[in-house]
């Protein structure tokens, strides 16, 4: 899975595949996810990062996976 800025941000915020570099995140996805879902997951994560989990002002209230995400707890700390 190619890791762009949107996927990198969403993966680290949600804990799907944490890493300091895009390569580390890519390896995390390869180890943790079945290969059949990676193609669709790639597009879903890009769109989620582009329109919901935005860099400067994430729309956590509109997020479908907010209950699975640890970004809000890190913001409060």
Predicted pLDDT at 31: 83
The predicted-structure confidence for 21-75, as pLDDT tens digits, reads as follows 999 999 998 887 776 777 788 899 999 999 999 999 999 999 998 988 888 655 5
What residue spans of the chain are helical by DSSP H? 5-14, 22-32, 35-51, 71-76
**Average pLDDT, integer, range 8-30:** 92
pTM exceeds 0.85: no
**Average pLDDT, integer, range 5-24:** 94
CA atoms within 13 A on the CB side of 75: 10
Number of residues written out for the chain: 77
**Average pLDDT, integer, range 7-32:** 91
Q: pLDDT higher for 11 or 77?
A: 11
C-alpha 61/C-alpha 32 separation (Å) is: 27
Predicted pLDDT at 4: 94
């Amino acid at each position: 899975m190619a890791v762009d800025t949107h996927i990198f941000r969403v993966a680290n915020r949600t804990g799907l595949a944490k890493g300091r570099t895009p390569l580390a995140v890519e390896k995390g996805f390869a180890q943790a996810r079945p290969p059949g879902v990676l193609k669709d997951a790639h597009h879903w994560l890009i769109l989620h990062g582009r329109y919901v989990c935005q860099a400067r002002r994430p729309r956590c209230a509109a997020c479908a996976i907010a209950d699975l995400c640890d970004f809000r707890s890190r913001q409060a700390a």
